[in-house]
Amino acid sequence: MQKIRPNYYDRFSCIAGECPDTCCVGWQIVIDEQSLETYAHVPGEFGKRLKKSIDWMEECFGQVDGRCCFLNERNLCEIYGELGPKMLCQTCRNYPRHVEEFEGRREFSLSLSCPVAAKLILTGEEKVEFLMEETPEEEEFEEFDFLLFTKLEDAREWMIEILQEETWSAEEKMQAILFLAKEMQTCVDAGTFFEIDDRIESCKKQKWETKNNISGRFRFMKSSVSLFEELEILRSEWKITIEKTKRLYHGEEDYKKIRMAFEEEYIEKNKESFERIQEKLLLFWIYTYFCGAVYDDEIYAKAMLAVFSTLWIEEINMMLWLENERELTEDEMIRTAWRYAREIEHSDPNLIVLDEIFSRDERFEFEKVQEAL
């Protein structure tokens, strides 16, 4: 068994009540079978409270105003306080640690939706490296397309390489990973797997350039903002953020002025920090989700998730910069990233909807997206 993790993975440490947010609000916390069995036999008054506060049919904790019913006013877990860390369910014990399962391989990552993890993921000047250890366990999945998985691995390896290439702009990187994913999708859809290696090699030789087409960006962002209306909203304040961002698209000329000012007054003055966050955002989404296409063949959608997410996190930050009298800190940029991720990563229905839309909606065809880059 191969076990892979990014080099910052082991540095994560929960800061509990000092966290600027809480991971116990806005989503259903699913309880694993073993924990349910344990909770059913906890004695005393706290045991009675446990039994009353669990939705046994849905196998999750109950909520009060969107908060886990065991989250107290200091944003601390009362199960942890009363029973200790060993009594946490698997979800609470592991978060924000995430694992993707493939035959003979486990890929570990941290969820961008956690503020502490987001800071680890998006800051630091060191290149992200992936550490691998091998253990003697063996397994065989009933259905696993190992041929497709190896092609996805090869493609992702090159994507990660160019995402950390300092001579490429973020826009060039986005074009490259999207185009390669499009080419691979064409092969998979046509059943011509034997062409994938040639497509990967061809993409490596392709040259890209930043178009800086603000009109194209305006058209793409305006047309795609409505996608958020099709997603489940986990927190009411997120809906307010999207509504504020929509105001950017009332007129193309006004948008152009705002975008040009943002580029000149913010991006250029904070170029190193800004580009590092863009790079690490793209890398996070590609590492975590791209090879999951082995299970549904939606290769282009996985790459589009990385590009769409990075563009919209930037766009929301531009709105905040404008709202804050043209001021924006790195911490605020990171906050936007983990707030966005909470709405996407914490909702399986949202990830499914995005997959379907990116695969079939012409708004997200490569040529349309390229206009924005």
Residue extents of the structural domains in the chain: 24-94, 148-370
Evaluate if residue 8 carries a pLDDT over 90: yes
Is the separation of the CB atoms in 152 and 160 below 8 Å?
no
Q: Would the pLDDT of 89 be above 90?
A: yes
Concatenate the DSSP letters of all residues of 294-325 into one string: GTT--HHHHHHHHHHHHHHHHHHHHHHHHHTT
Q: Specify the pTM.
A: 0.93
Q: What is the pLDDT of residue 153?
A: 97
- From 23-27, 121-125, 273-277, the region with the lowest mean pLDDT: 23-27
Neighbours of 331 (CB within 10 A): 11
* Position 27 pLDDT exceeds 90: no
Cα dist. 258→11, 277, 322, 333 in Å? 38, 21, 8, 18
Rounded Cα–Cα distance for residues 4 and 317 (Å): 32
Q: Do 303 and 178 contact (CB within 8 A), yes or no?
A: yes
Bigger pLDDT: 166 vs 326: 326
Average model confidence (pLDDT) across the chain: 95
Q: Is the pLDDT assigned to residue 332 strictly greater than 90?
A: yes
Q: What is the rounded average pLDDT of the residues 197-216?
A: 90
* Per-residue pLDDT, 17: 81
The one-letter code for the residue type at 195 is: E
Place of tokens 């939706």: 113
Confidence of residue 138 (pLDDT cuts 50, 70, 90): confident
| pLDDT score of 339 | 97
What are the distances in angstroms from CA 302 to CA 194, 245, 309, 354?
A: 21, 24, 11, 9
**Dihedral angle sign, alpha carbons of residues 113, 132, 8, 89:** positive
Question: What are the strands of the beta sheet with 97-102, ordered from one edge?
Answer: 97-102, 105-110, 2-6, 130-134
- Binned at pLDDT 50, 70 and 90, residue 45 comes out as very high
| Contacts of the segment 50-53: beta carbons below 8 A, 24+ positions apart | 50/79
DSSP 266: I
